[in-house]
Amino acid sequence: MHKICLIPGDGIGLEVIPAARRVLEATGVALDFVTADAGWSTFGRLGTSVPDATLNAVRAADATLAGAFTSPSAKIAGFTGAIRHMRRTLDLYANLRPAKTRPVAGCFAGVDIMMVRENTEGLYVEVERRYGDIAIADVKISRSASERIARVAAQQARGRRGLVHVVHKANVLPITSGLFLDTAVDVIRREYPDVEVRDIIVDACAMKLVREPGSFDVLVTTNLFGDILSDLMAGLVGGLGLAPSANLGDHQAVFEPVHGSAPDIAGRGVANPVATIVTSCLMLDHLGEHETAARLQAAVDRVLERGPHTRDIGGTAGTEEMADAVIAAYGEG
Ligand code: NAI
Ligand code: MG
């Protein structure tokens, strides 16, 4: 029996998490669910985006599946976005965001890339100051965080095609981005001689991801670059409605779709649950349920091939209809 903490969060999280739960229940894997609160509406009620009870539920679970969390673009006193709060408090330092060609219209061919994004520092330490009409933000890069994320990338590469690109901007930021680059390259060369390591400047990487996505295997980079490039990668392979991710630390694992709370479509039952369902596949793999994960991924691919489709991928189906179709396809074996 695996203990799963579900955190629907905000917006379409409230729609895609129940849909993914139904799919998980239909797989027959023995799962014991608890539900916990976090996000913007939780902040409104309790004055914190992630209550201690939720942190404890995540700690007590074998894995957590989160929906999406709203963060307003204005500074709100005492507020930290829920997912950033969890990543930092639980030291979920590795954000894995795979992008792979799927059988769906508009998808680039030949994409099979794993983004390994550093999740705890970079520009996202959220240290900002305002001096009148000038605003300044700090960037933190540490050798220890750069080393451990490089190790995750190298381990991922070992299970794939054996190539890591370290993505950086050391030509403009030689002290911060340079420390990340040098540390990551060093640790992979020293500890993973079987893994090939190259480096690429982030802007060139963005262009090459579109022009020659097949030239990449694993990317490892700092927080902001990883955030932006992983949305780009999602765009190559069907969009945010299909993109999964995992936040991994040494003790906890929080799985979440790449997308946010999508206020433009929230509450209408039209969000694509596939991102959360394939995120569940990553979670099942993490729990050692490899066979179920592969069968569920295959069921999703069959539905993507033959329909129904939600609106974001060119159809008219709603969230529940899409989940039902995945459950039916899973039942075909
Ligand atoms: P978003 O990912 O919520 O939406 C971007 C666009 O993609 C929207 O047009 C939306 O309708 C569409 N979309 C996203 N997921 C979809 C799905 N499953 N099915 C169909 N269409 C989908 O990003 P946005 O609009 O920039 O941010 C909205 C809120 O979400 C903000 O408060 C932001 O801070 C938060 N956010 C939270 C994240 C998280 O919880 N990890 C990640 C990104 C944004
Ligand atoms: Mg993002």
Beta carbons of 86 and 253 less than 8 angstroms apart: no
Q: What angle do CA 26, 27, 30 make, to 5 degrees?
A: 100
Q: Which of 227, 312, 324, 330 is catalytic?
A: 227
Which residue has its alpha carbon closest to ligand 1 atom 26?
A: 260
Beta carbons of 40 and 49 less than 8 angstroms apart: yes
**Has residue 193 got a pLDDT over 90?**
yes
Give the Å distance between the CA of 260 and the centre of ligand 1.
Answer: 3
The tokens for 170 are 């050391």
**Has residue 105 got a pLDDT over 90?**
no
User: Domain segments of the chain: what residues?
Assistant: 1-98+240-333, 108-236
DSSP state of 121: S
Beta carbons of 147 and 155 less than 8 angstroms apart: no
DSSP string, 260-309: ---TTTTTTT-S--HHHHHHHHHHHHHTT-HHHHHHHHHHHHHHHHH---
Q: For the segment 212-262, what is each residue's pLDDT rounded down to a tens digit? A: 999 999 999 999 999 999 999 999 999 999 999 999 999 999 999 999 999
The predicted model gives 150-174 an average pLDDT of 98
Ligand nearest to the CA of residue 124, numbered in listed order: 2
Q: For the segment 68-104, what is each residue's pLDDT rounded down to a tens digit? A: 999 999 989 999 999 999 999 999 999 999 999 999 9
The shares of helix, strand and coil residues in the chain, as percent rounded to the nearest 5, are 45, 20, 35
Task: Give the confidence band of 333 by pLDDT, cuts at 50, 70, 90.
Answer: confident
Beta carbons of 99 and 115 less than 8 angstroms apart: yes
Q: For the segment 25-47, what is each residue's pLDDT rounded down to a tens digit? A: 999 999 999 999 999 999 999 99
Q: For the segment 249-303, what is each residue's pLDDT rounded down to a tens digit? A: 999 999 999 999 999 999 999 999 999 999 999 999 999 999 999 999 999 999 9
**Has residue 65 got a pLDDT over 90?**
yes
Counting Cα atoms < 13 Å in the Cβ hemisphere of 254 gives 33
Give the Å distance between the CA of 21 and the centre of ligand 2.
Answer: 23
pLDDT of residue 106: 85
Q: Which fold has domain 108-236?
A: Isopropylmalate Dehydrogenase (3.40.718)
Give the Å distance between the CA of 228 and the centre of ligand 2.
Answer: 6
Peptide bond into 308 cis (omega under 30): yes
169 is a catalytic site residue: yes
Beta carbons of 319 and 15 less than 8 angstroms apart: yes
Task: Give the confidence band of 203 by pLDDT, cuts at 50, 70, 90.
Answer: very high
Is the CB of residue 324 below 6 angstroms from any atom belonging to ligand 1? no
How many Å apart are CA 273 and CA 9, to the nearest integer? 14
Q: Which of 32, 138, 203, 250 is catalytic?
A: 203
Q: Judge whether 1-98+240-333 and 108-236 match in fold.
A: yes
231 is a catalytic site residue: yes
Q: Which of 10, 169, 192, 330 is catalytic?
A: 169
Which residue has its alpha carbon closest to ligand 1 atom 12?
A: 262
Q: Which fold has domain 1-98+240-333?
A: Isopropylmalate Dehydrogenase (3.40.718)
Task: Give the confidence band of 128 by pLDDT, cuts at 50, 70, 90.
Answer: very high
pLDDT of residue 153: 98
Best probe residue, ligand 1, of 42, 86, 240 (max atoms within 8 Å of C-beta): 240
Beta bridge partners of 7: 66
On the 0-12 / 13-18 / 19+ scale of CB atoms within 10 A, 232 is middle
Q: For the segment 45-59, what is each residue's pLDDT rounded down to a tens digit? A: 999 999 999 999 999
Is the CB of residue 272 below 6 angstroms from any atom belonging to ligand 1? yes
Is the CB of residue 271 below 6 angstroms from any atom belonging to ligand 1? yes
Residue 306 amino acid letter: R
The tokens for 192 are 């993973």
